[in-house]
Chains A and B, each alone.
Chain A
Amino acid sequence: GEDVEQSLFLSVREGDSSVINCTYTDSSSTYLYWYKQEPGAGLQLLTYIFSNMDMKQDQRLTVLLNKKDKHLSLRIADTQTGDSAIYFCADRTGRRALTFGSGTRLQVQP
């Protein structure tokens, strides 16, 4: 079945760039998403990318997609303490539901 994998933890210093990586197995994935979850909260949609795109930039966020390797990354420039959270990548195929990874906990040190 479909699988989405992420590394569990990333620690960066405030002001540095963060890169969160994700791999997926479904070659039919059409849209790929990044969500942010703060403690005790729901999921906040950060950005998404169509599978026919290589890159998408939105202010401090840059998404890179390597469809050949089924690899997705989220780069956060000038990381702030408020960026500390769990980040989930998810993929969608057609009209089906989202398949989520287990999440990457980003810790930003002052």
Chain B
Amino acid sequence: ETGVTQSPTHLIKTRGQQVTLRCSSQSGHNTVSWYQQALGQGPQFIFQYYREEENGRGNFPPRFSGLQFPNYSSELNVNALELDDSALYLCASRISSGGTYEQYFGPGTRLTVT
């Protein structure tokens, strides 16, 4: 049990639609990252938030955006969905201080775009 939860578990959307995925981190985890894991591949970094500000981004277009809230929850928003956006979306949280380097992942949201 990592203390990181995600909703929904599964989601089916149509190409061109918009989607919001949610993550709830452990209390005190001030850094949250989102990853995309396509079938048969390792997770790819989308972006990272620290104290509600984006402080790192991977090679993903601007239609991938996010928010982090003071209650340790966060959102990933994807606009204008494409078929290639079908993947498992993982959020991960950690504490960015105090010499703690463990990063814990949620169970993921499986997004299918048709």
Task: Say whether A77 faces chain B, with CB atoms less than 8 Å apart.
Answer: no
Given A45-B102, A45-B103, A97-B33, decide whether A102 and B42 contact each other with a Cβ distance below 8 A: yes
Q: Which residues of the other chain, B, contact A97 by a CB distance below 8 angstroms?
A: 33, 35, 45, 48, 56, 58
Task: Write the nearest CB–CB distance from A106 to chain B, whole angstroms.
Answer: 15
User: Is A42 a contact partner of B105 (Cβ separation < 8 A)?
Assistant: yes
Q: In the complex, what residues of A have CB within 8 A of residue B101's CB?
A: 31, 48, 92
Bits for A62-95, please: 1 = Cβ < 8 Å to B, else 0: 0000000000000000000000000010101001
Does B2 sit within 8 A of A, measured CB to CB? yes
Interface size of B by CB at 8 A reads: 26
A41-B48 CB under 8 A given contacts A31-B101, A88-B42: no
> Are B42 and A42 in contact (CB-based, < 8 A)?
no
Across the interface, do B90 and A43 meet the contact criterion of CB distance under 8 Å?
yes
Q: Is the interface of A mostly helix, strand, loop or mixed?
A: strand
Is B96 engaged at the interface, CB distance under 8 Å to the other chain? Answer: yes
Q: Are B45 and A42 in contact, with the CB atoms below 8 A? A: no
Query: 11 additional contacts, CB 8 Å, given A97-B48, A103-B42?
Result: A42-B108, A43-B92, A45-B104, A45-B105, A48-B102, A95-B55, A95-B96, A97-B33, A98-B45, A98-B92, A103-B41
* 21 A–B contacts from the bound complex (CB under 8 Å): A33-B103, A42-B2, A42-B6, A42-B90, A42-B105, A42-B106, A42-B108, A44-B2, A44-B105, A45-B102, A88-B42, A92-B101, A95-B56, A95-B96, A97-B35, A97-B45, A97-B48, A97-B58, A98-B92, A100-B42, A100-B43
Interface residues of B (CB under 8 A from A): 2, 4, 6, 33, 35, 40-45, 48, 55-56, 58, 90, 92, 96, 101-108
